[in-house]
Amino acid sequence: MIATQHYGMFTDAGNSAVDSIVEMSRKHQLSWQTVHDMLDIISLEEVYEEARDTAVMEAVYETLFGNQNSVDQ
């Protein structure tokens, strides 16, 4: 079994679902708004309702976009 990133979801299945969104975002270069909307959509399912929690959103954002604003010193 391939380990997935931990995004702060309550279950491995939740982290796997969010990881699928992250990987799709990378593959198709989706915008943050699109990713955010996808997380909102899966959060409508009770088993993934924490997908819209701030901690999950921040973990996903950091994974996708966190290094874009870094400056080498």
| Chain segment 4-27, per-residue pLDDT in tens | 689 999 999 999 999 999 999 999
Residue 5 pLDDT:
81
Instruction: Please tell me the predicted confidence (pLDDT) of residue 71.
Output: 44
Q: For the whole model, what pTM was predicted?
A: 0.84
Residues counted in the chain: 73
Question: What tens digit of pLDDT does each residue of 53-68 get?
Answer: 999 999 999 999 996 6
Closest alpha carbon to 50 in 22, 17, 10, 19: 10
What single-letter amino acid sits at 13?
Answer: A
- Copy the structure tokens of residue 2: 């391939």
**Domain spans of the chain, in order of start:** 12-65
